[in-house]
Structure 1
């Protein structure tokens, strides 16, 4: 029978439940358990994070089937080396939409639709969906215990413990021990309160994981054990680390594999520890390079979480530490910045566009490696049209209705909706002879997308002749005519050392054990 591990959080949000959940999944893999999946349940009322401000919520992670999800799914994929889908993520908004749709179509046969049992049943159905394919399902509950939006989720977990049996359910609670610097002591009261909140909804954790800035001594563990009814061996500390990839090792050192094995009846020893090798690489002496990240949402690093991790993966492969130079698109260009290469990620809206174009022109003319992703590629095309092809009013129809639209909307029709209306998910791309093809070592690739605008195909022949080649295209069926139309996916400037833009998001498919080839090539050229 499938066994379930529920990861909850308390005291404050943003403690790293995603990293903990992914680390637990990885520890299970090292125990020889490979039929594992991880699901994220977000209590917020949005359908998905696709329309949320990245500075408030962090990046939107796109799965291979085109679901716009929380960035935690990126952790799941990178730590476990798996691919997630829309079935790995849900929200209160999605579940309410499904519930009301069923009610409107008569699915409840005239019954009064209530939170219990109808909404809680929806939550349980999502959790258990596909259980026949897995031995272990890890579920991360977003937010904190006590949040009003999450009350139905915790009620569902309580019910599942009775439905599935206590031996098939494990609860792991992540909390924060407050370090009061004035007296240099750890305060346990907030953690006592969050455990009490859990117990009030009928849940007692099997393991308590404590985020802490200072080590936990036996006195603190005794106190926590007294107030939580947990043995000291089930109280684990996780300190702040240089790298998130140290977390699985930290959990193993705290014997979490023994606790998992005992509760879940796993009768196997830890196999080879891939994290030990990675840790040794991370902590070894390295040279350093600085990469400029020119973006619209630099006020929150998590807005570019997958991108930062992809750069780190490539840096580790090449034995170089990556320093990120954050460049806000709203700021005018600082020509004194000393960087080895620049990356321009995706984004939306007109803010900072002219500043970004100035950066691109400067680094193109000075033959410094430039890597444009999504919006970044589109801006590379606009800049080239303006300053090389002399199309001075070149612009995207996203930014202005005036001028020469070298970037246009993919679907030219009115649509009042914003969420879920982009080109999303993995698409097949055909490559012609080029540097990019040499990097991939393949004639075709599949990469994930998230965009609404694309290069105007009327101008691709012109920019090709001027030296900005288009070595990668995909075919997309026109929703209005049904006729396949080409979409520019990759551009590159051969005469520069490394000047490549892509419409897709390669960062979604990079992990520390298998860095993405485009990032490997980009960092290699930045080093040289």
Structure 2
């Protein structure tokens, strides 16, 4: 454990009644307000599942795997955190029960516990506390979200650990914020507080008394219900915060600030000397204003493999909206299954859209639909943005339909393809030149290119124009790469390699010349992970602008006329 002098005040956010109430957004919004008061803030997520990380979990079950700079595969809530605060997070900020038990067992195997019996208390709870301290050290405030719902058996070690922290460090170093549901019963015309009372009772039964209640409801909490909740939960009335449904999540920081939630934190942690007297939320107000007063509107097709579960593409959807916010443009997302393109034909399924984005994915299902999508966008001159698998699909499209490489494919989908334009590095970078084949028993959790890596942008390309830089860093999550043996052939067919890794080995971005296509660009990395509502991302801003220009009949927009949010 760290010394008391280095301890960071911690806000623990728990949830009750039902899941999916929005703990992550609520915690991120509070962090944004505290940051707007000049405090240095960090966040972390404690997830109760036994997987070491979400990297091998199904997108249908768990949603997006969010990747940090250091290559950690984390819960999608870390994406919310990074979009709301300026702190860049790492693997330290994403803890699972599996990661905790893995660490404890490793210590036991090497004899760290000196032959003692290893137990949940104190060994597991001590490891949890150690991880919390490691992730939050050096900050003014750390916000820690506990996954799951109070009452779940899986979350008990985490709850016990934070209970101990409160006892060990006192209430001026640990604060409990509990998010609950206040359901509205339409037949009775009433908001019901009983579920919240029972949720707090459950929390108190394990030794945790909340300092603040965030009461999620469809309408503002009347004063009478607020007083009732305060009375029955032993929470001060001013700390019973109404959290109503919002049509725009970026309104939540201002809403919570209006009820002085940030002041409750500042007062309890005695941070008056560090925090500004009021929060400067002007950037968030500008984001909301741009979203609510658009000057234009576009429709973007997202052609993916998991669109029935949109959380699998959470960051992509948010980044597209951020690109619109930067130019006061409403972005309507049309989610399409790649297999529907295969069945219905690209011309029919993709008719009427202003731009097409093909996101990442794994496996052969729907890949041919992604290739057809690239071909359609290329031939119909629709702005195309390929990300990860979307770049690989574009490379296969150009190989098959322009370079004449019949049967070109990725070895992920066809190991016997005669033209493996996409493959594992070991399949095309060998001493003998012979193709090596991936073993059937390869470890899916340990064969990825992960995390932030720099790439060099080729001058004169669309990519260079958008970034305005020679070298940029983007986050990666993939196994298969553009096969260097086909660089010359595909470049001769008109494909521009606009970015490569710093050692010149790996192709990072491709595009078509702008005299051949108005906006056709694809990247191997995942730029959506670095997009925020306040700053956007240059590739997404450029893509939405290209969609606007297509909608305007190909007319170039007058940049000076755009009412863009100030950078």
- TM-score, normalised with respect to structure 2: 0.89
Q: Indicate if the aligned counterparts of 2:509 and 2:521 stay in contact, CA closer than 8 A.
A: yes
Corresponding residue for residue 534 of structure 2: 513
**Cα pair 2:346 2:376 within 8 Å, conserved:** no
The equivalent of 1:335 in structure 2 is 347
The structural deviation recorded for 1:8 is 0.6
Q: Which moved more, 1:391-400 or 1:268-277?
A: 268-277
Q: How do residues 49-88 of structure 1 correspond to structure 2 at under 5 angstroms? A: 49-88=54-93
Q: How far off its partner does 1:334 sit?
A: 5.4
1:149-172 deviation digits (Å, cap 9, x = unpaired): 110110001100111112211110
Which of 491, 494, 499 does residue 472 from structure 1 map onto?
Answer: 499
Shift of 1:132: 4.1
Instruction: Verify: 1:526 aligned to 2:547, yes or no.
Output: yes
Alpha-carbon distance between aligned partners in 2 of 1:130 and 1:139, rounded to the nearest angstrom: 10
Aligned equivalent of 1:224, options 229, 232, 244: 229
How do 1:359-378 and structure 2 match up within 5 A?
359-378=373-392
Question: Which residue does 1:409 correspond to in 2?
Answer: 424
In structure 1, how many angstroms separate the alpha carbons of the residues matched to 2:136 and 2:543?
Answer: 41
| SS at structure 2 position matched to 1:497 | coil
Contact preservation (8 Å) 2:33, 2:279: no
> Deviations 1:109-162 (Å, cap 9, x if unpaired)?
100000000000000001111554112111111111111111011000110011
Q: Residues 338-370 of structure 1, C-alpha deviation per residue, up to 9 Å, x if partnerless?
A: 110000000011111222222221121010000
Residues 62 and 448 of structure 1 are in contact (CA less than 8 Å); yes or no, is this contact kept in structure 2? yes
Distance 1:295 1:132, change over 3 A: closer
User: How far apart are residue 449 of structure 1 and its match?
Assistant: 0.2
The number of aligned residues is: 519
Q: Alignment partner for residue 144 of structure 2, among 132, 139, 146?
A: 139
Shift of 1:20: 1.1
Please say if 1:399 is aligned against 2:405.
Answer: no
1:430: how far off?
A: 1.1
Q: Secondary structure at the match of 2:172?
A: helix
8 A Cα contact 2:307 2:335, kept in partner: yes
1:412-491 to structure 2, matched below 5 A, reads 412=427, 414=439, 416-433=442-459, 434-475=461-502, 486-491=505-510
TM-superposed deviation, 1:285: 4.1
8 Å CA contact 1:50–1:420 kept in 2: the answer is no
Between stretches 377-386 and 52-61, larger displacement belongs to: 52-61
- Counterpart residue number, 1:149: 154
Note the C-alpha offset of 1:181.
Answer: 2.4
For 2:148 and 2:127, locate their aligned partners in 1 and report how far apart those are by CA, in whole Å.
19
Counterpart in 2 of 1:481? none
Provide the C-alpha distance between the structure 2 equivalents of 1:131 and 1:86, rounded to a whole number of angstroms. 12
Tell me how far apart the structure 1 counterparts of residues 466 and 136 of structure 2 sit (CA, whole Å). 39
Question: Distance between the aligned counterparts of 1:132 and 1:288, measured in 2?
Answer: 44
Change (3 A) 1:228 1:410: farther
* Whole-Å separation in 2 of the counterparts to 1:306 and 1:467: 31
Q: Which of 472, 490, 493 lines up with 2:512 in the alignment?
A: 493
* SS in structure 2 at match of 1:129: helix
Listed one character per residue, the Cα deviations across residues 443-474 of structure 1 (whole Å, up to 9, x for unaligned) are 11111000000111100111111111111111
Displacement after TM superposition at 1:427 (Å)? 0.8
SS at match of 1:19: helix
Matched residue, 2:123: 118
Task: Indicate conservation of the 8 Å contact 2:84/2:532, yes or no.
Answer: yes
2:110 to 105, 108, 129: 105
CA RMSD in angstroms comes to 1.4
Q: 1:271 Cα shift?
A: 3.8
Q: 1:367 to 1:237 in 2, by over 3 A?
A: same
Q: Does 1:269 align with 2:269?
A: no
Deviation at 1:45, TM superposition (A): 0.4
Deviating above 6 A after TM superposition, structure 1's stretches of 4 or more consecutive aligned residues are none
Q: State the shift of 1:68 in Å.
A: 0.3
User: Following the alignment from structure 1 to structure 2, what is the Cα–Cα distance between the partners of residues 305 and 242?
Assistant: 17
Structure with more strand by fraction = 1
Q: Give the Å deviation of 1:219.
A: 2.4
- TM norm structure 1: 0.96
Give the C-alpha shift of residue 46 in structure 1. Answer: 0.5
Could you tell me whether the CA contact under 8 Å between 2:59 and 2:312 is conserved in 1?
A: yes
Contact 2:215 2:242 in 1 (8 A): yes
Q: CA deviation at 1:420?
A: 3.5
Q: 1:508 to 1:17 in 2, by over 3 A?
A: same
TM-aligned CA deviation for residue 185 of structure 1: 1.9
In structure 2, distance between residues paired with 1:386 and 1:250: 53
Separation in 2, partners of 1:106, 1:378: 47
How far off is 1:383 after superposition?
Answer: 0.9
Question: Residue in 2 aligned with 1:16?
Answer: 22
Residue 328 of structure 2 is aligned with which of 316, 319, 324?
319
Give structure 2 stretches of 5+ with no counterpart: 1-6, 428-437, 550-567
Whole-Å separation in 2 of the counterparts to 1:131 and 1:57: 26
User: Do the aligned residues in 1 keep the contact of 2:44 with 2:135 (CA within 8 Å)?
Assistant: no
Indicate if the aligned counterparts of 1:81 and 1:511 stay in contact, CA closer than 8 A: no
Say whether the 8 Å CA contact 1:179–1:185 is kept in structure 2: yes
